[in-house]
Amino acid sequence: MNTWTKENPSDLPAPRLTGKLVGGVRLILLLLLTLVSVVLFLIGRFLRGTLGRWVVFHFSVARFWAHACLWLTGIRLRVTGAPVRSGALVANHSSWIDILALRATTLMYFVSKAEVANWPGVGFITRITGTVFIERRRTEAKRQEAVLRSRIAQKQLLCLFPEGTSTDGLRVLPFKSSLFSAFFVDGESTDIMIQPVTLRYHPPKTGELPLDVYGWWGTMGFEKHIWDVLTLSFGGVVDVIFHQAVPASAFEDRKALAEASQSAVAHGFETLTHIRLLDDQREPIRTGDTV
């Protein structure tokens, strides 16, 4: 899960005064929305544990929170296809915004690197929402595979980012096959459904912002990137494509499954890129290496 650093971020224009004012209002609303949503989610989780599994309103709260946060970041969500009910989603990873875009579509549980659990604020939210944290140590591999299979056996839908890092949003990196081993027991495949998912961001068509404005990678500061998006993003779009789900048993091993999943995600990414270029008739600032 090393951080991708191959490209340097494009220079962003300085936000106008109106952009700063709107960004400030957006930030305040985002913080208030998150605070209220966390309180409601905790209440729902407590009632679910006390009264039974029929209490599910807090899941709708989480989905509403994601939709509202996307709106506050100036990004419109477009969805193609539908997610499976349980199993695993495997998606490309560009930014923290991916979490909002995916959570806005359905109830899911993210698989994240263990460091995120200790991030101020964000770590608390990820913990209470059932995120599965993965250690980098090989000695933890078997235990973590068992945890992932246990979650799926409980009919939960997991979401993995097999690239192992976020990027500038202009490419799809090769998928690491290590996490896919959870879908094979003692080398034998299972009937767990795996669904590739493509995410592609499009900045506003004004041409003022670079194509990598929504990507968050390398040494980019988390708080600064949030501020840049809140003050500059007006009319962006994120496409989410849910591809055909396949059982792990259709593949010989984890490497074959990882390669097929990456191919589906990259093909969707390339298609969306081509459509965008035809639509706005302008060349990208730079193109990805592997799409």
pLDDT digits (tens, 9 = 90+) for 156-169: 999 999 999 999 99
| Arithmetic mean of pLDDT, 213-234 | 96
| Nearest-angstrom CA–CA distance, 205 and 280 | 7
Q: Could you tell me the pLDDT band of residue 180, with boundaries at 50, 70 and 90? A: very high
Tokens encoding 54: 């029929």
**pLDDT (tens digit per residue) in 261-282:** 999 999 999 999 888 776 665 4
pTM reported for the whole predicted model? 0.90
Domain ranges within the chain, ordered by starting residue: 76-280
- Is residue 12 within 8 A of residue 213, CB to CB? The reply is yes
Q: What is the 3-state secondary structure (H, E, C) of the chain?
A: CCCCCCCCCCCCCCCCHHHHHHHHHHHHHHHHHHHHHHHHHHHHHHHHHHHCCCCCHHHHHHHHHHHHHHHHCCEEEEEECCCCCCEEEEECCCCCHHHHHHHCCCCCEEEEEHHHHHCCCHHHHHHHCCCEEECCCHHHHHHHHHHHHHHHHCCCEEEECCCCCCCCCCCCCCCCCHHHHHHEECCEECCCEEEEEEEEEECCCCCCCCCCCCCCCCCCCHHHHHHHHHHHCCCEEEEEEECCCEEHHHCCCHHHHHHHHHHHHHHHHHHHHHHHHHHHCCCCCCCCCCC
CA geometry: angle at 66 spanning 62 and 70, to 5°?
170
CB atoms near residue 31 (< 10 Å): 11
Tokens encoding 108: 């899911």
Per-residue pLDDT, 114? 87
CB atoms near residue 93 (< 10 Å): 23
Tokens encoding 246: 């396949």
| Nearest-angstrom CA–CA distance, 172 and 160 | 14
Residue 143 has pLDDT above 90, yes or no: no
| Nearest-angstrom CA–CA distance, 21 and 15 | 10
- Beta-bridge partners for 9: none
Q: Could you tell me the pLDDT band of residue 290, with boundaries at 50, 70 and 90? A: very low
| Nearest-angstrom CA–CA distance, 262 and 254 | 12
Q: Please name the residue that has the structure tokens 């263990």.
A: 114
Q: Could you tell me the pLDDT band of residue 138, with boundaries at 50, 70 and 90? A: confident
Q: What is the percentage of the chain residues whose pLDDT exceeds 90?
A: 78
Side chain identity at 10, as an amino acid letter?
S
